[in-house]
Amino acid sequence: MTRYFKGIGASPGIAIAKAYPLKSETFVPEKRTVDDPEREVERFREAVKQAQDELELIRRQTEEKLGQEKAEIFEGHLLILEDPELIDTIEGNIRDNAVNAEFALHEASAFFVETLLQLDDETLRGRAADVKDVCGRVMNRLRGTESADLSGISEACIVIASDLTPSDTAQLNLETVYGFATEVGSRTSHSAIMARSLGIPAVVGAGEALREIRPGAWVVLDAEEGVVVADPSPEELEEYRKKKSRYDARKAELAKWVDRPSVTQDGHRVELAANIGQLEDVQKALDNGAEGIGLFRTEFLYMGRDRLPTEDEQFNSYKYVLEKMNGKPVVIRTLDIGGDKELSYMELPKESNPFLGQRALRLCLTRPELLRTQLRALLRASRYGNLKIMFPMIAVLDELLAAKRMLEEEKAKLIEEGAELAETIEVGMMIEVPAAAIAADQFAKEVDFFSIGTNDLIQYTMAADRMNESVSYLYQPCHPSILRLIRMVIDAARREGKWVGMCGEMAGDETAIPLLLGLGLHEFSMSPGSILPAREQIGKLSYGEWTALADRALQFASQDDVQTFVRQQLSGGDNK
Ligand code: PEP
Ligand code: MG
């Protein structure tokens, strides 16, 4: 009988093969008294040494296969084995209580894993898996047992496991392992990150029932839907085979566009950039052919932790993104907290209309230290790439001027402190409040660029809370009122010789793209997965034609009419 297991699609794709369930053995060592604790400590040290040699080998192999960055996971593992807190706890226990090394290791490992799992920070919680992985490796050396050797799997299969350690994942034989599914894990667990780098489909967090899948049972791994299907019927199997071929064919088709410029048929060039929220997204942006980062939502650096990130922590994150983008433009938006985004460790005022309250720059201007720390980190990182700083949620000119003043003051202080900054750093603002769109001509004199945040611009223009399902029908990116505002913004910027981007969801919407192109939008920033389809679409459009068509579209009275018009034009209709 077919069984379905719902999890999280952690690495995209569809795989079909027979199940290869890994046995998950939980070994609990017996407590023994040893006669010579010093000799036991020596035995433990020897096991650590062997584990270090193994890890060094895996580190080197990973570096060759996946590059330096992924190999860093194993540098982290090697550091765990040098951590005095862990090692001293184990050796102290052996010496003080004359217990066997296996028992001391098990106790310390369980304690550290448990402590990490109780932390609020998701990243730190994720490190529990690393400690478990490393301690398991030392335990294997002590017991003389082998770590599972996944490089030796010789039949085509889908690996099913309780969890996969990063070292398991790095060793997968990609010739034969078509994908994997785990009972536990999240999108940010290391095995998920590694799966994305290896480019194999993975579903994680599919639940304990996964262990009931028999070895050799047919399994479909649909990471698009985040589902594992065991023992599909012949008809289902056939359907999934067709879905897989469609997916693979489309992927191959889109891959052709990765290194190409974003140019229309008549030679008009635009920039397709990525929206990111965390450091890990940068690689995804590059893999999808992003020509820049159009929006780094920095609030995610502040979330999922128990205190504000320090200036140095922020500096390191910004430097990482800038260096990784290697000179391509990177627009970093200052903190946009408030609305639906809260920080558990910061007492924010309770408001009855949070989206209309002290959000983003409004909040930062009342807590200047928050913004100043971020600006200093940004300025210090500026020399590592092509940084552009962007302020969110501006309604009136005074807000922009206050933010710019703070930026100038921090710049002056840093220069006085002898810091080296980039020579030019463009400063821009988001257009997401209708007041700013209407007065765009005045703002355009004060910034280097605009980026239109349509998610908010639409909610504020339509007076329809973006979180309220019952008014979601008013999210109408192609409504003439929204298109007219966008045109006003682009025209105002153009008159001042400034460029305009868009980082709201609308920028990746295939019906909106031809219109935005025709209105003269320069940069389209979207989720990485939308970039290649957008580049393919733009390659088929004529800028000249769509300039005229956009003019006509703005005269319709409803979004429906606009969308019908655009679709007719795209399908070669005669409504010209
Ligand atoms: C927007 O409002 O369109 C935007 C990109 O910002 P956010 O979605 O983060 O509010
Ligand atoms: Mg916004």
User: What burial class does residue 113 get, using C-beta atoms within 10 Å of its C-beta: 0-12 exposed, 13-18 middle, 19+ buried?
Assistant: middle
pLDDT at 145: 77
- For the cut 90, the answer to whether the pLDDT of residue 309 exceeds it is yes
Q: Of the ligands numbered here, which is closest to the C-alpha atom of 295?
A: 1
CA–centroid distance, 381 to ligand 2, in Å, is 24
Residue 10 has pLDDT above 50, yes or no: yes
Q: Residues 114, 193: one domain?
A: no
Is residue 54 predicted with pLDDT exceeding 60? Answer: yes
Helix axes 512-519, 528-540, angle to 10 degrees: 70
Domain closes at, from 143, 178, 193: 143
Residues 484 and 434 sit within 8 Å (Cβ to Cβ): no
Ligand 1 atom at shortest distance from the alpha carbon of 297:
9
- Among this protein's residues, is 364 annotated catalytic? no
Predicted pLDDT at 347: 83
Ligand 1 site residues, Cβ closer than 6 angstroms:
295, 297, 336, 432, 453-456, 503-504
Catalytic residue among 135, 364, 478, 503: 503
Tally of CB atoms within 10 A around 415: 12
Residues 323 and 460 in one domain: yes
Q: What are phi and psi of 334, to 5 degrees?
A: -70, 165
pLDDT tops 80 at residue 65: no
Q: Which atom of ligand 1 is nearest to the CA of 455?
A: 3
Which ligand is closest to the CA of 502, given by its number?
A: 1
Does residue 133 fall inside a structural domain?
Answer: yes
pLDDT at 192 over 90: no
* Residue 23 scores a pLDDT above 80: no
* Catalytic residue, candidates 190, 364, 478, 522: 190
Same domain, 157 and 172: yes
- Of 56, 141, 78, 147, nearest in space to 105 by CA: 141
Contacts with 80 (C-beta within 8 Å, 6 or more apart), sequence order: 86, 130, 131, 134
The interaxial angle of helices 122-143 and 68-80, nearest 10 deg, is 70
If asked whether residues 513 and 559 sit together in one domain, one would say yes
- Mark whether 134 and 182 lie in a shared domain: no
Shared-domain flag, residues 198 and 121: no
Provide the token pair at 179: 């994908």
In this prediction, residue 243 carries a pLDDT of 97
- Residue 153 shares a structural domain with residue 137: no
What is the pLDDT at residue 573?
Answer: 61
The candidate with the shortest Cα–Cα distance to 102, out of 90, 114, 113, 92, is 90
Tell me which DSSP letter residue 317 carries: H
Question: Which ligand 1 atom is nearest residue 453's CA?
Answer: 3
DSSP codes, 167-218: HHHHT--TTTEEEEEESS--TTSHHHHHHHHHT--EEE---GGGGGSPTT-E
Confidence of residue 397 (pLDDT cuts 50, 70, 90): very high
In a domain? residue 308: yes
Residue 66 has pLDDT above 80, yes or no: no
Cα 458 to averaged position of ligand 2 atoms, centre (Å): 10
> Ligand 1 centroid vs 183 CA: distance in angstroms?
34
Identify which of 551, 552, 553, 545 has the alpha carbon closest to the alpha carbon of residue 268.
545
Give domain status of residue 28, yes or no.
no
**In terms of domains, do 306 and 177 share one?**
no
Domain annotation covers residue 245: no
For residue 428, the domain's CATH number is 3.20.20.60
Q: Which range (114-118, 309-313, 559-563) has the least confidence?
A: 114-118
Residue whose CA is closest, atom 4 of ligand 1? Answer: 453
Closest residue to atom 9 of ligand 1, CA basis: 297
- Tell me if 576 is assigned to some domain: no
Angle between helices 454-462 and 480-495 (to 10 degrees): 120
Q: Which residues contact 273 (CB under 8 A, 6 or more apart)?
A: 285, 290, 291, 292, 293, 294, 295, 329, 331, 501, 523, 524, 525, 526
Question: Do 138 and 158 lie in a common domain?
Answer: no
Cβ neighbours, 10 Å, residue 199: 13
* Ligand sitting nearest the alpha carbon of 333: 1
Please state the domain count of the chain.
3
pLDDT digits (tens, 9 = 90+) for 398-449: 999 999 999 999 999 999 999 999 999 999 999 999 999 999 999 999 999 9
Assess whether 315 and 456 both reside in one domain: yes
Average pLDDT value for the chain: 93
Q: Beta strand pairing status for 227-230 and 3-6?
A: antiparallel
Range of the domain at 312: 271-570
The C-alpha angle 8, 285, 177, rounded to 5 degrees, equals 45
- pLDDT surpassing 90 at residue 62: no
Q: From CA 353, how far away is CA 45, in angstroms rounded? A: 60
Q: How confident is the model at residue 32 (pLDDT cuts 50, 70, 90)?
A: very high
CA distance to 31, 37, 115, 333, per residue, from 104 (Å): 8, 12, 17, 48
pLDDT of 501 reads 98
Tell me the sheet residues that pair with 523.
Answer: 271, 501
What angle, 0 to 180 degrees and rounded to 10, lies between the N-to-C axes of helices 480-495 and 512-519?
Answer: 30
Q: What is the CATH number of the domain that holds 101?
A: 1.10.274.10
Which pLDDT score, from 0 to 100, does residue 319 have?
97
Ligand 1, atom nearest to 295 Cα: 5
Break the chain down into helix, strand, coil percent, rounded to 5.
50, 15, 35
Mutate to test the pocket of ligand 1, among 430, 506, 516 (most ligand atoms within 8 A of CB): 430
- pLDDT the model gives residue 148: 66
Integer Cα distance of 287 and 529 in angstroms: 9
Q: How far apart are the CA of 166 and the centre of ligand 2, in A?
A: 36
Q: Of 444, 341, 431, 331, nearest to 378 (Cα)? A: 331
Instruction: State which ligand 1 atom lies nearest to the alpha carbon of 336.
Output: 9
Please give the distance, rounded to the nearest whole angstrom, from the Cα atom of residue 453 to the centre of ligand 2. Answer: 5
Q: Which ligand gives the minimal distance to the CA of 275?
A: 1
Give the pLDDT confidence score for residue 191 in this predicted structure.
Answer: 78
Residues paired with 228 in a beta bridge: 5, 221
Q: What is the pLDDT of residue 278?
A: 86
- Whether residue 32 is contained in a domain is answered as no
Pocket test for ligand 1, best of 299, 430, 458, 503 (most atoms within 8 A of CB): 503
Contact present, 191 and 165 (Cβ < 8 Å): yes
Asked if the model's pLDDT at residue 576 lies above 70, the reply is no
Residues 358 and 294 in one domain: yes
Sign of CA dihedral 179, 183, 188, 194: negative
Output the CA 513–ligand 2 centroid distance in Å: 19
Q: Token match 């933010």: residue?
A: 403
State residue 575's pLDDT score. 43
Residue 239 lies in a domain: no
Ligand 1 centroid, distance to 134 Cα (angstroms): 40
User: Residue 160 maps to which CATH number?
Assistant: 3.50.30.10
Of 30-44, 186-200, 492-506, 533-547, least confident by mean pLDDT is 186-200
Tell me, yes or no, whether 262 lies in a domain.
no
Q: Which atom of ligand 1 is nearest to the CA of 459?
A: 2
Residue whose CB lies within 8 A of the most ligand 1 atoms, among 297, 335, 452, 461, for a mutation test:
297
Report the pLDDT value the prediction gives residue 496, as an integer from 0 to 100.
Answer: 98
503 a catalytic residue = yes
Q: Which residues pair with 182 in a beta bridge?
A: 161
For the ranges 162-171, 259-268, 304-313, 352-361, the lowest mean pLDDT is seen at 162-171
The closest residue, in CA terms, to atom 1 on ligand 1 is 453
Give the end-to-end CA distance of the chain in Å, rounded to a whole number: 55
Same domain? For 13 and 136 the reply is no
Last residue of a domain, one of 112, 128, 143: 143
Q: Which of 210, 168, 171, 211 is nearest to 189 (CA)?
A: 168
Last residue of a domain, one of 234, 249, 280: 234
